[in-house]
Amino acid sequence: MSLDLPKVYPITDTYLSGLSHAEQVARLIEGGASLIQLRDKHAAPREFYREAASALKVARDHHARLMINDRVDLALALKADGVHLGQTDIPADAARQLLGKEAIIGFSTHNIQQAILATSFPVDYLAFGPVFQTATKENPDPSTGQTALREVRAIKGSLPLVAIGGITFSNALDVLKAGADSVAVIAVLLGDPTKIAENMSKMLAATSWLPNDRGTD
């Protein structure tokens, strides 16, 4: 069955927010988040494991789903809901073998060729971007723009599509109209740690104009 993706898919960032992953998850859930990705490019695996375990407790208490960026081993050990893989992480079929068929596996793509290739992988959603310029990711691929996002929409079949990179309150709806099923966001939600819940619910409101199951108009 196709993954039921919420319109807004927040990703944690401890540098940007200055908060633990668990605290970010608590505030994002307060603002209405139901699927959250833990991303940490700096913490040692042991530290990320400990932090992710606390964050998972918060998520479970509120029936939210939690994804782990990059680390299939952590996702497996913690029984997280799934893993988000990049182009240099272990292959999706190996991750699927380890995590099983119930796990959610997401996969990052940065151009149309990568997206075409990924349609044959055992993944539950494709991420595509950065659609716009982003200051959050180190050494990002070139911005794709919305035309490329439309191209990906045309080739992706029924695979849910997550747009990422530079998404704001003002461009999120356009990105959904261009073909994304969901927007993954970091800076716009976490830049001001006192406003995480408020900004999360504002982003949900900004993206609520299209029905979840909109057709292929």
Positions that interact with Mg ion (CB under 5 A)? 70, 86
The pair of structure tokens assigned to 172 is 């999120």
Identify residues 71-110 at the interface with ligand TZP (CB under 6 A): none
Shortest distance in whole angstroms from residue 48 CB to Mg ion: 13
What residues have CB less than 8 Å from 105, skipping those under 6 apart? Answer: 82, 83, 84, 85, 92, 95, 96, 99, 122, 123, 124
Q: Is 165 in the site for ligand TZP (CB under 6 A)?
A: yes
70 binds, among ligand TZP, Mg ion, none (CB under 5 to 8 A by kind): Mg ion
Shortest distance in whole angstroms from residue 89 CB to Mg ion: 5
Are 62 and 22 in contact, with CB atoms under 8 Å apart?
no
What residues have CB less than 8 Å from 57, skipping those under 6 apart? Answer: 22
Shortest distance in whole angstroms from residue 188 CB to ligand TZP: 6
Site string for ligand TZP, 112-151 (x = CB under 6 A): -----------------xx---x-xx--x-----------
Of 32 and 60, CB closest to ligand TZP: 32
Report CA-CA distances (Å) from 194 to 36, 60, 173, 189, 200: 18, 23, 24, 10, 12
Are 31 and 197 in contact, with CB atoms under 8 Å apart?
yes
Read off φ and ψ for residue 10, nearest 5 degrees.
-80, 150
Count of positions on this chain that bind ligand TZP (CB under 6 A): 13
Of 31 and 166, CB closest to ligand TZP: 166
Residues at the site binding ligand TZP, with contacts judged by CB under 6 A = 129-130, 134, 136-137, 140, 164-167, 185-187
